[in-house]
């Protein structure tokens, strides 16, 4: 009785050890592949960031806009390029809208 229980416990432990060993081998192979795989980046480039623009639309009054430095505001008035500021000296109308 004791020998059968002990042998079953040993077999379960061996199966568990083999399962852990296979998992370790798989993880090691994945990490080795990532390290040895060549990068498609040019020399001197650390990372590549891709930005996809979903919809390109014209701005309208009330749209929020953010500048390069994080400043954010609401657009109050849109200007068509055919308009001109009459108060500026030597003002000329812009060519296209």
Geometric angle at alpha carbon 63, from 62 and 64, rounded to 5°: 115
Is residue 93 within 8 A of residue 84, CB to CB? The reply is yes
Asked if the model's pLDDT at residue 8 lies above 80, the reply is yes
Is residue 96 within 8 A of residue 83, CB to CB? The reply is no
pLDDT the model gives residue 15 = 96
50-75 burial by CB neighbour count: b if 16+ within 10 A, else e? eeeeeeeeeeeeeeeeeeeeeeeeee
The domain segmentation of the chain, as residue ranges, is 1-38
pLDDT the model gives residue 97 = 46
Give residue-wise pLDDT tens across range 28-71. Answer: 999 988 877 766 778 888 888 888 877 777 877 777 777 777 77
């Amino acid at each position: 009785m004791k020998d059968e229980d002990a042998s079953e416990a040993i077999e379960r432990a061996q199966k568990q050890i083999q399962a852990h060993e296979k998992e370790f081998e798989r993880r090691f192979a994945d990490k080795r592949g990532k390290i040895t795989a060549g990068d498609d980046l040019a020399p001197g480039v650390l990372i590549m960031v891709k930005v996809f623009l979903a919809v390109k639309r014209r701005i309208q009054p009330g749209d929020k806009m953010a500048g390069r430095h994080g400043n954010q505001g609401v657009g109050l008035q849109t200007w068509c390029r055919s308009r001109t500021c009459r108060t500026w000296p030597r003002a000329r109308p812009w060519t296209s809208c």
